[in-house]
Chain A
Amino acid sequence: TQLLEQSPQFLSIQEGENLTVYCNSSSVFSSLQWYRQEPGEGPVLLVTVVTGGEVKKLKRLTFQFGDARKDSSLHITAAQPGDTGLYLCAGTNAGGTSYGKLTFGQGTILTVHP
């Protein structure tokens, strides 16, 4: 069974601070996706990383895929109250019993206070 561990589980910060969320596994993933979910809504895709060592930027958000494709991080610069939400990482592996299945981490609840 492939598992993804996210840390921290909860993060409460002030507006303007920086933060990093980590997503780790002992398994290799062919790709990793990050989603953001707001209360009462389904998760929305932020980014997909595919290549080991890949770095993608989305405005103030920076996503990195580990060289061995076992881990990923999400860094937010100068957090704003609008960044508040549940951040989920999810890994894809096309092989074996994981065929077609997206495995999710348990999520990080981020609260940014004005």
Chain B
Amino acid sequence: EAGVTQSPTHLIKTRGQQATLRCSPISGHTSVYWYQQALGLGLQFLLWYDEGEERNRGNFPPRFSGRQFPNYSSELNVNALELEDSALYLCASTRIREGSSYNSPLHFGNGTRLTVT
């Protein structure tokens, strides 16, 4: 079974530009999560998509947005890049089962390292 794949692996942008990050979930997984990991430490929740709909978002400004496509792949877009947006962006997928208490484990990709100069 292929794991979660993210592209590109590294992305270098200048302040004010836009960045687009892509994620392909594990086959059969309908939920995609995006997390920001700065300084190699804890993960900050960005967005959750399930069945093509945005279900929840974290405390990030509106210039962080995304979408999920019919094949369940996802894009994260960051507009008007700022220096502090430099981080590792992790995508994770899972399959939410009806009636579950949302304890499904997340399967993470290896991330996109975004550097803003």
Contact = CB atoms under 8 A, between A and B. Distances in A.
B108 A44 contact: yes
A70 B44 CA distance: 20
Interface in A58-114: 86, 88, 90, 92, 94, 97, 99-107, 109
Interface string B92-108: 10001000011101111
Interface stretch (B13-21, B35-43, B79-87): B35-43
Interface in B6-39: 31, 33, 35
B90 A101 contact: no
Nearest to A93: B102
A71 to B, nearest CB: 17
Interface of B: 4, 31, 33, 35, 40-45, 48, 50, 55-56, 58-59, 90, 92, 96, 101-103, 105-111
